[in-house]
Amino acid sequence: MAIIMENEKIKLISGGICAAKGFKASGIHCGIRKNRSKKDLALVVSEKLAATAAVYTTNLVKGAPLVVTQKNIADGYAKAVICNSGNANTCNADGLEIAEKMCELTAAAVACDASDVIVASTGVIGQRLSVEPIAASLPTLAKNISYSGSRDAAEAIMTTDTVIKEIAVEFEISGTKCRIGGIAKGSGMIHPNMATMLVFITTDVAITPELLNVALKGDVADTFNMISVDGDTSTNDMVAVLANGEAGNQMITCADSAEFAVFMKALNTVTVGLCRMIAGDGEGATKLLECKVTGAADVIMARTVAKSVVCSSLLKAAMFGADANWGRVLCAIGYSGANVDVAKIDVSFRSAKGEILVCKNGAGVDFSEDTAKEILLEKEIEILVDVGAGNATSTAWGCDLTYDYVKINGDYRT
């Protein structure tokens, strides 16, 4: 499959986080999780030091791994990622000590400096994390790294996820073949306010740390910050990208260059793909919801409206029941804080079964409830909103709200 974006071809390929040259990965069960069939420790290694950028949760309660990672990559470089699932290492008296020890153990296993390690943890908050199973398993984890290890690593970072999330693309920068790949975890505690999940992205593009940071922060505003599953912003999560330059392209140093624009398009293809996977795999979800806002006065208005719609619990419940309750869309827009003219808003629902207009100029129109239900019974639903105020657009992703969400979170810890 190829995605044509203006004059550039971006091709989806296999390989995930190992698709880019010079990256290996692995994932094993080390004993943090009781279920031995669940991998719980992941490792990603670049063969050479890589330019690195990351964004972190805005929650004031932050996991110790984020604090350590932020310190480690302050110089803009990293070589390895170590991540465990099953325990968040958050709100623990010895959390920083454990996170730093994980970096030291990883550095010894892959022959790098501890300060060049990104460390992450995900799982239950407030339970002490023992470093012993990690220390015992790291030699095996490092021995197992391979160019085909993306899937194992992606599995090892999962918590309540039901599907493995990985993607990779191939593209050209000034005639040089380049690749970007990534893995993600995210199912619950997903809400706009970067970051809301764990995402690790690798690329063999040569780009400065400064521009990589610009690219990532510029991208997340319209991708990962536009997802909501349940309205809860996690304490632990981050998005990190490593660029090792192995593709051999001329170093990208200018944000106004054509080469940087191509890189941004390719990065966005990866991040949007992961956004859709995360939203569609929301805890207990049966449907992916995509709200596309057009006709906004500016991008802030468009983002605000789109986010508010996908965050509406009432709308999410209606989508679960395939109920074309469009009034809940207008309700969410009305309390979003966006300065919209309600009398200009149009709303339609669309899926593989077709499209149906349900609201025109802020008022209901006659439509077939049977046709609407058929459209809303599909697994992927688009909520199309035109606010009639300009030319700006934005997209947000979410999921339906089901009985299973409460079941999953009612006994998450026990």
Task: Express each pLDDT in 394-409 by its tens digit.
Answer: 999 998 888 777 776 6
Which positions ≥6 away from 30 have C-beta within 8 Å? 40, 41, 84, 133, 134, 136, 137, 141
Output the six-digit token pair for 254.
């200018």
Distance of CA 207 to the CA centre of its chain: 22
For residue 119, the cross-strand partners are: 82
Output the six-digit token pair for 38.
């669940």
Burial of 381-398, coded b for 16+ CB within 10 Å and e otherwise, reads bbbbbbbbbeebbbbbbb
Which one of the listed residues 57, 159, 196, 235 is annotated catalytic?
A: 196
Q: Lowest-confidence range among 56-70, 162-176, 240-254?
A: 56-70
pTM value? Answer: 0.86
Task: Quote the pLDDT of residue 338.
Answer: 97
For residue 332, give the nearest of 321, 345, 320, 322 by alpha carbon.
345
Task: Quote the pLDDT of residue 37.
Answer: 86
How far the first Cα of the chain sits from its last, in Å, is 43
| Cβ atoms of residues 23 and 45 within 8 Å | yes
The pLDDT of 125-147, averaged and rounded, is 96
Task: Quote the pLDDT of residue 2.
Answer: 42
Task: Quote the pLDDT of residue 233.
Answer: 54
* Domains, the chain, ordered by start: 2-280 (3.60.70.12), 288-410 (3.10.20.340)
Q: Identify the band that residue 196 occupies on the pLDDT scale cut at 50, 70 and 90.
A: very low
202 is catalytic: no
What is the number of alpha carbons within 13 Å of residue 372 lying toward its C-beta? 21
The pLDDT of 210-234, averaged and rounded, is 83
